[in-house]
Amino acid sequence: MAELTRTIKYEADRVKGFGRELMSVPGCEDLQSCIQCGTCSGVCPLSIYMDYSPRQVMALTRSDFKNEVLRSHTIWLCASCYACTVECPRQIRITDIMYELKQRAIHEGIYVKNFPIPVLAKEFYTMSRKYGRITENILAAFMFLKTDWLAAIGMWKLGLGLFRRGRFSLWFHAIKRKDELNRMLATVDNLSIDELKDERKKASKAT
């Protein structure tokens, strides 16, 4: 039997407080003032492939439809070109909101399965944490191995081409003072989110 999906969202689908919480993050505050004009969807070079348009993602986020936005393809199709951000008549930092939604999807592990982009982001994060630098071709290899190793076979020609042109690195690039960087990043891990939030509230009151 064909699988039927409801096309209308119900009140019960909302995760109360999600929108407000997101709008308390530095850089995402202006979402409140979205007028749903759709300029973001119009200028986005990738909206033609999205399940929800950027305008819809803004509306859904503000209205607490957490599961819908975090599971959407849209946040992962955003290539961070910032066209929407500079065109938005309300100066909403749409690209930064997309970043925030990506972070939450990864954090909660509810992104679309087998979608290579979040895997690339996580591998990027792990590699730069471990070595301090990125070795692009090794990063790409890791991503393909973890998502679709058949696709890796389709990339052999590109890899060989890079190798022949001396654009291929055979081993990891790394920094010398890894300890220094690790200590710095550990500070962020040890910081409680509540502590940050209090600071945020004070900051918005002050301005």
Comparison of 17 and 161: residue with beta carbon closer to other proteins: 161
Q: Return the amino acid letter for 200.
A: R
Place of tokens 């982001």: 121
Could you give the CA distance from residue 68 to residue 111 in angstroms, rounded to a whole number? 10
Residues that bind other proteins (CB under 8 A): 26-27, 45-46, 48-49, 77, 79-83, 85-86, 93, 95-96, 99-100, 102-103, 106, 116-118, 120-122, 124-125, 128, 132-137, 140, 143, 157-158, 161-162, 165-169, 173, 175-177, 180-181, 183-188, 191, 196, 199-200, 202-203
Shortest Å, Cβ 173 to other proteins: 6
Q: Which is nearer to other proteins, 9 or 161 (CB)?
A: 161
Of the candidates 113, 119, 90, 98, the one whose C-alpha atom is nearest the C-alpha of residue 52 is: 98
Decide whether 37 or 175 has the Cβ nearer to other proteins. 175
Beta carbon of residue 113, minimum distance to other proteins (angstroms, whole number): 14
Kindly state the smallest distance separating residue 12's Cβ from other proteins, in Å: 30
Under a CB-based contact definition with an 8 Å cutoff, are residues 176 and 2 in contact? no
Q: Minimum distance between the CB of residue 131 and other proteins, rounded to whole angstroms?
A: 8
Minimum CB–partner distance for residue 21 and other proteins (Å)? 15
